[in-house]
Amino acid sequence: MNGAQTPSAVARIDAPRPAIIPAPASLTTATSGVYLLASGASIVVPAGDADAKKAADHIADLLQRTRGLTLTVREGDARPGDVVFARSQDAEDAYGLSVTSDGARVTAGSFGGFLYGGVSLWQLATQTSDGPAPIAALTIQDAPRFGWRGVMLDSARHYQSVEFIKQFIDWMSLHKLNRFHWHLTDDQAWRMEIKQYPRLTEVGGWRVDAGAGPRADIDPATGKPRLTGGVYTQDQMRDVVAYAAARNITVVPEIDLPGHASAAVHAYPELGVTDVPGTAVGAVPGDWGIYVTLFNTSDETFRFLENVLDETMAIFPSRFIHLGGDEAVKDEWKKSPAVQARMRELGITDENTMQIWFMTQLSNYLKAHGREMIGWDEILEGGQVPDSTVMSWRGVDGAVQAARLGHDTILAPAPMMYLNNIQSPNDGSPGRGDLVTMQGVYDFNPTPDGMTEEQSRHVIGVQANLWVEHLRTEESVVYMFYPRIAALSELAWTPAAGRNWQDFVTRLTPQFARYDRLGIGYARNALDQTKLPPPPQGQRRYDHQMRSCNNSVPLNVFDDAAGPDGTRATFSMDLFNPCWMYDAADLSSGGQMQISVGQVPFNWQILHDIDNVKVRKPATPYGELEIRVDSCEGAPVAVVNLEAASRNNATTVVNATLPAQTGRHNLCLMFTQPGIDPTWVLDWVRLAPAAN
């Protein structure tokens, strides 16, 4: 016996309604019939078909780990109750899946098709939790809407382990996503080992994070602040590439240039603009935002970049190499006699056009080696880089412009495809403060209005990005990606006419159960879009449960120092005006307020916008917390000196007494401070009646 149940044995067993994410292009259920997938069954593959066997082995392992079903992969004849993988003429990544009471059959013409057909079968088998898995008889014919179904992970701002990267790729494949865009270089780190230039990682892969906490964390071995960072060796990156390929995922590396170059220029100063005073990079920076450091335009720097690309292409077989091109502030190029001389030599009159020339040289180098360049949508400013693919991040206009010019394009726009934004109005987790809901991701239109049918053909895919400035831990990365990645997968895979939000929501219940089995720490409040009322007076009211005074650039940031128990507070603040409103306070008996306060480094490079940050003049060298009633103007009703709190790198609880007033009032809490860095912030507030 093979352990599978015969059709007569399952005639009275009910099977759950099929719940597959992403929804197949075509799914038809039979009027009757249930297949009971049980331990002892086989996955039968064609003789000598390596693609089918590799996919079958993966699915058998997945069923064992997540459903406790033991299946054998073999060649030969199928028996009742078996799963059959059969070769077909289906297109790349397409598959067919048929289920009858006798068994299941997956047909495909590629490894990706076998894998995705198997993943759909796995989802059907994991809608129940124990014993043999009942699966309703059905027929699926499925193929992806887009060839590029991508996720970008920033490993430059904070390093993630190779083990985590592999786990993340595993989970991507279960959503039929197939492009892992790996952001490996930036101002704050160069993570990718380049053997010809070892200082890129030996020096550029490490930094001291901003803030008093990291500065006070002294490494006994050096007597200096402890460095944070990490490096991916070439062997490790090749291992990741192979691991991803076994899950039908292509790893696309990004080397960001000509901007976001501080780590590289610190490691090799001759790569930067050396003929302008004050441009030297003294250390790998720990601040976020936009730096003015650019690579120079000398022949020697191009030889360096070509050598880097040679080693990159030897590691990553991807057709595409991402070369960034974003946020390249041209101040240094404008001031540099050498760059200006190069521009005159080339007949170029402005720096944006000079960047197009810069990117074109490297794009041509990639083309000469059988590769193609992707760049962020700034590569359309000052002209266009021939034969390049444009990744549109500043809204959708870059994609529309690219398509009109005949470029292929990928939609990855902020804020809707930036999953480092919060996902619920009740979310106080670290990240940027724009609300990007799961439904917002699901409903995004990846073929923007205004495109002709011909231009729409240039949209080759859609991608979600995760920038990790404020996400220090791997757990926070997972929390921000999941479950919104499920909405992304259906957006990228399922035909537009086949997507339905309410139906998708019903399919999330078994999907969340799968996440639990896989150990995915997803955001359980992702569907909670009703703003909860703040806790009642007398209980702690955290900063994200209060109103921001103006909410211009909301952020949720980790404390730069841990408390005595090793945990870090998360502060919700506005970048330009840290100020909070405690609404509807009952002050009829006065008030005794406890306030947990902390300090964070102002580690955001915001160029000239720095002049718009509110800094209120203090009465003492340490700053004060000021509390006002019904307005943020006028005289405060309470002032708290922060001298003691300033000596604590973590949070400190301070106290304020509020005078009695009839009725309920909104309280405005703000800080004074001697300078912009560090910035005082709130953690929580508790208001109780004043003691008699």
Q: What SS3 state is found at 301?
A: helix
C-alpha to C-alpha distance for 323 and 309, rounded to whole angstroms: 10
C-alpha to C-alpha distance for 180 and 169, rounded to whole angstroms: 8
Residue 368 contacts by C-beta under 8 Å, 6 or more apart in sequence? Answer: none
Distinct helix (H) and strand (E) counts, the chain: 18, 35
| Annotation marks residue 332 as catalytic | no
Residue 487 contacts by C-beta under 8 Å, 6 or more apart in sequence? Answer: 438, 439, 441, 442, 504
* Residue showing tokens 């006994």: 220
| Annotation marks residue 170 as catalytic | no
Q: 538: number of CA atoms within 13 Å, CB side?
A: 3
DSSP string, 382-409: TS--TT-EEEE-SSSHHHHHHHHTT--E
- Catalytic residue, candidates 260, 266, 407, 665: 260
* Residue showing tokens 């804020």: 415
| Annotation marks residue 327 as catalytic | yes
Phi, psi of 339 (to 5 degrees): -65, -40
Q: Calculate the alpha carbon distances from 231 to 206, 288, 518 in Å.
A: 9, 19, 27
Q: Calculate the alpha carbon distances from 422 to 140, 553, 637 in Å.
A: 35, 13, 34
What angle do helix axes 299-315 and 351-368 make, rounded to 10 degrees?
40
Contact 521, 478 (CB under 8 A): yes
Q: In 10 A of CB 605, how many CB atoms?
A: 16
- Catalytic residue, candidates 57, 102, 327, 397: 327
Tokens for 552, please give them.
């211009």
Residue 375 contacts by C-beta under 8 Å, 6 or more apart in sequence? Answer: 322, 323, 324, 325, 326, 359, 385, 388, 389, 390, 391
Amino acid 594 reads Q
Tokens for 50, please give them.
């390596």
- Catalytic residue, candidates 82, 186, 254, 559: 186
Tell me the catalytic residues: 186, 260, 327
